[in-house]
Amino acid sequence: MELSKSQRIVVMTGVTGGFGVYALQRIAAQPVTRVIIGARGSNRTVPAGVEVLPLDLASLTSVRQFAEAVIQEIGDSHIDILVLNAGIHTADTSNRSEDGFELTFAVNHLAHYLLARLLLPHITDRGRLVITTSNMHEPPLKRIAPKTVEPQLLAHPTESGSGIKAYSSSKLCNLMTAQSIDSLPDVRARHIDVVAFNPGLTGGSSGRDSSRLARMFVSLLMHTVFRLIGLFRPEFIMNSPEHSGKMLADVSLGIIKPPSDRLYLSLVKGQPTFPDPSELARNQEAQDRLWRESAAMVGLE
């Protein structure tokens, strides 16, 4: 594809389902914008002009191949906006990725960690990296809240556990990774914006391996228990997928920006707010440990 030097390049994951579909539609409709997405399977329905490259986030080999394909496709150009939005919520922790890691941790965290590391050198100066996290990194029910970050235990649980607890931990890892990337000297020197985006609850996080009963349970939980919780903690009020998708697009395009000293953007009653992440998410020692052990798991450093 012949590329104008003034053309903006956007690379995205997680935009063939859920609220990501609406983000993709809005971004692809922008003038002078080239959009490349990663997706499993074929025959994906996407807006005209959007380029689809194969990507299976449950395979680190596929992640590397996708990164290589993106770099080849853009040639001497650079990525202006990298949006890492994909995520799954499995029924439990019994499933494994192609590389033997617990599936939720592998897809939601490890794959995006690796993709960010591989593509970061190809993001333009003053470009933008958006990583989708969740208010579930600090859930309202203490029973499912992460107490610590133990990367090896998340990657290799010793017994089958709750899928929602694994999801919460993976979203915590996303938020911690965003903070670690933002602190890198190269990122600071090149003035790359890093945003951890919380779309709020949209009711669309049920996983690809979940049974129909499990998906119905998640939907029921979101529309009953969390609706009641929203009366006391407004960050857990449901947002429509259309609205969360529009907000993700606006954050990605820089229409909505966090203040200079913030990177966590959380939708509360549909509006952008900039709260502190949880205390655990801000723990520097835990961030450093997650970074080091994730690097070893994906074969970096």
What is the distance between the alpha carbons of residues 30 and 231, in angstroms, rounded to a whole number?
37
Question: What per-residue confidence (pLDDT) applies to 81?
Answer: 98
- Structure tokens, 155: 């990657």
CA distance 211 to 165: 18
Task: Please state whether beta strands 123-132 and 193-198 pair in parallel, antiparallel, or not at all (unpaired).
Answer: parallel
DSSP 8-state code for residue 89: -
* Residue 265 one-letter amino acid: L
Question: Residues, the chain, total?
Answer: 301
pLDDT of residue 226: 59
pLDDT of residue 1: 47
pTM for this predicted structure:
0.90
From first to last of its 301 residues, the chain has per-residue pLDDT tens of 444 457 999 999 999 999 999 999 999 999 999 999 999 977 788 999 999 999 999 999 999 999 999 999 999 999 999 999 999 988 889 999 999 999 999 999 999 999 999 999 999 999 999 999 988 887 776 777 788 899 999 999 987 778 889 999 999 999 999 999 999 999 999 999 999 999 987 765 544 445 565 556 566 666 665 555 655 666 667 778 999 999 999 999 999 999 999 999 999 988 999 999 999 999 999 999 999 999 999 999 7
In whole angstroms, how far apart are CA 76 and each of 122, 168, 262, 274, 290? 9, 38, 32, 36, 33
Alpha-carbon distance 91 to 207, whole Å?
Answer: 7
* Straight-line distance from the first to the last Cα atom of the chain, in angstroms, rounded to the nearest whole number: 34
